[in-house]
Structure 1
Amino acid sequence: MSAELPRIVIAGGGLAGLSLALALKQALSDGVEVTMYDPALGRDPHADKRAYAIGAAARRMLEALRIWDGVADAAQPIHDMVITDSRLQDPVRPSFLTFAGEVEAGRPLAHMIAGGDLTAALVEACRGAGVSLKATGVESFSPDPAGIDVAAGGRTERACLLVAADGARSRLRELAGIAWISWPYRQSAIVATIRHARDHEGRAVEHFLPSGPFAILPLKPETAPDGSRLYRSSIVWSERSEAVPHLLESHPEDLLAELERRFGLQLGALSFETGPQAFPLSFGVARRFTAERLALLGDAAHVIHPIAGQGLNLGLHDAAALAEIVVEALRLGRDPGAADVLEEYERARRADITAMGLVTDGLNRLFSNDILPIRLIRDLGLGLVDRMPALKSFFIREAAGLGRGTAPRLLRGEAL
């Protein structure tokens, strides 16, 4: 390739960064050089056992990137969702709100998929498309009006744009001097994969409990060596942070008993397929999503509560928006790292991210308490929504990522 070709450097090989890299190369082919740096690229992507909810709009994007067909067999569609609101000791958990899982004919609200499967597919596709993958991190950068020098792996390369996709504790965001607005939730998320005796039938359940939401998310069943079906679900158990160390350090049988109190016995006997891990929860958003020759992507730009399962989907929306803006700029002969181009990205993402952050923050504060008047009001509201098909349809489309104004082309299933 000619050294004069525009180069875009992406720091961070997570799902959003990989999707951006693939979108750029598929759209522009030999018209752009894309280099990705992340030490994790030297490890087996299948080691990531976390499960993610992929909304309908994000699925359209993966279809447009020609990724979905390769991972669809490992993805579990969510056919319906049930929301309850109760105390832990309540003998019955009434269902206040239910959602049918289809947003369009044959299109479920979301799919659950293992992060390792999706990462591996994106890495392979990026290699095939000509993305240069480097298993090292970006050390520093120096922008100027004509470009940006990026130091990584003991060498410096010239680029027109650096994308910081290096996570919530983004070092590049700090080096760029971009302020981070955040507050802790005093909650931690305990995540694990659970095996259960009976089929979940593609149903997701969200129990709103005073200590935080407890989500049961269906995973694709596996086949045991004896031919039997292994039914599985992912849990996201939000708990008060001060209680989490005691829970995780308790005897496995005691921890399983606490899990059963929250999970319920509707799916039969439970066991841990993967050991539980805990992550502190917080809200965070960058004051700006861009700096000179730099754009923030995914968790480097925003972190929200997992109550609606929208964290990854927001990151994929970032990637779709930035890819479209960069591709259009290069096709028109514009500089993709110029201030006016990056301002388009800022405008495209600010409202959506702000709205989703406020919604998830408000829902968590509304439901993570045991104040009786508030409980009565919120349960009344859930019941009213359940009886209003048009309003339910609106919420379903919002959760699927299909109702957010003019979406980028990739989220509409259109190639760039």
Structure 2
Amino acid sequence: MTELDADVVIAGGGPVGLYLAAVLLQEGVSVRVLEQRQTRNQHTRAIGIHPPALQALARIGVASSMVREGVRIREGVALSGGRIVGSMAFGNVSADFPFVLALPQFRTEQILEDRVRTLDPDALVKGANVTGLTDDGGRVTVAFESREDSTHRPALATAALLVAADGARSGLRDALGVPASCRTYPDRYLMGDFDDGSGLGDKAALFLERQGIVESFPLPGGIRRWVVRLSRPAGAATASDLAGLVGQRTGIEPDPATNSMLSAFSVTSALARRTVAGRAILLGDAAHEISPIGGQGMNLGWLDAEALAPLVRAGLAGGPVGRQFREFEMARRRAAARARRQAEINMALGRPLPAPLLRIRTAALGAAASIPAVNHWAARRFTMH
């Protein structure tokens, strides 16, 4: 049986788990990251990286690579009925990163993985399916199956701390007996990536239309993502269906033949009642699932990890960190609750309205956007400052 030993075991090799691994490895902490997948998902949803997260990523030396590859969105525009009704500039939200960066999640993960492997070639264990854990109060042991050559071999990883970064459907959260406060929403969306013929350049765009919002974001390689709010489940919707909906609402119809990703999703949220359970810490989506509308989830996870790393180092050094962990838990739960409220506002603004109410809402948003102080406040709020 394979037996691994480390200071910290991280269950989940997505963007949050890999970021935490890199931070800890830089500080001389030994880490093992157990990742169930053997290959990256090319169709992952998260694309927006906000300035505070870029600051955190700069500390592990990967922000510059991401910025080189990504699209820097310096402005967002709101349109209705074919005319611009408001705009939001991100130039003053950060001195170092005055933009929101658009980069597909699979590239973000690959850059983070490369950094982890540079720091420790053995830190990431792929094909590792976690099956259970035990916490004796001094060490935590994680049981997992290692998939090699189509065989499933039992293995163990033992560490002083376990970080569960295994996603919104976290099996470890359930195994730890941590309940979550869950909400479901009536909002359903269909999104896809197409060659960009919009003429919008590097701008993000929100089309506030009677049938529901359409969101649009530039991606590297001359690609643009379109997200349409639906009035019913997507069913077996096709790229042509999505292109037709975009065209009906915005007057811009993507070419279905250029579609490179198509996904439908509904929205739920969940906040874990606790994020620290014995020698285990929940991180990222395992601690808080947030609506993808607004692009906060991945960024929130990175900021969680940034706050957690010094506590882990102090705890491993034998320092008294019980109070600090309690403060971490409370602070990150508050941050997650704020992010959930912001996502709920974002979704509400995109719901269908009768024409008279749509005109009122659009006029109100345009008036607010024209006030510099309000515009600046909204830009900071949107970029998670």
TM-score past 0.5 threshold: yes
Percent identity for Structure 1 against Structure 2 = 27
Q: Contact 1:218–1:233 at 8 Å: present in 2 too?
A: yes
Q: Which residue is equivalent to 2:310?
A: 324
SS in 2 for 1:167: coil
Unaligned regions of 5+ residues in structure 1, if any?
Answer: 87-91, 222-230, 404-416
| 294, 306, 310: which one aligns with 2:292 | 306
Q: Which residue is equivalent to 1:60?
A: 55
Q: Contact 1:50–1:116 at 8 Å: present in 2 too?
A: no
Unaligned regions of 5+ residues in structure 2, if any?
Answer: 146-153
Q: Deviations over 1:296-350 (max 9, x none)?
A: 111111122222121211111111111132234335x227xx7544323202211
Q: Which residue is equivalent to 1:224?
A: none
Task: Give yes or no for the alignment of 1:354 onto 2:337.
Answer: yes
Cα 1:356/1:50, change in 2 over 3 Å: closer
Q: Deviations over 1:208-248 (max 9, x none)?
A: 34565321001123xxxxxxxxx321123232343x11533
Q: Which residue is equivalent to 1:387?
A: 370
User: What is the deviation of 1:259?
Assistant: 2.9
Q: Which residue is equivalent to 1:414?
A: none
Task: Give yes or no for the alignment of 1:97 onto 2:86.
Answer: yes
SS in 2 for 1:276: strand
Task: Give yes or no for the alignment of 1:398 onto 2:381.
Answer: yes
Cα 1:212/1:36, change in 2 over 3 Å: farther
| 126, 136, 142: which one aligns with 1:144 | 136
Q: Which residue is equivalent to 2:148?
A: none
Q: Which residue is equivalent to 2:31?
A: 34
SS in 1 for 2:186: strand
Q: Contact 1:329–1:341 at 8 Å: present in 2 too?
A: no
Aligned length: 372
CA distance in 1, matches of 2:123, 2:254: 48
Q: Deviations over 1:101-129 (max 9, x none)?
A: 31245633201002122111111111111
SS in 2 for 1:370: coil
CA distance in 1, matches of 2:232, 2:170: 23
Structure with greater helix share of residues = 1
Q: Which residue is equivalent to 1:76?
A: 71
Q: Which residue is equivalent to 1:227?
A: none
The two structures have a TM-score, normalised by structure 2, of 0.87
Cα 1:390/1:38, change in 2 over 3 Å: same
CA distance in 1, matches of 2:302, 2:336: 12
CA distance in 2, matches of 1:21, 1:290: 18
Task: Give yes or no for the alignment of 1:219 onto 2:219.
Answer: yes
Task: Give yes or no for the alignment of 1:108 onto 2:98.
Answer: yes
CA-based RMSD = 2.7
Q: Which residue is equivalent to 1:176?
A: 176
SS in 2 for 1:309: coil
Q: Contact 2:10–2:17 at 8 Å: present in 1 too?
A: yes
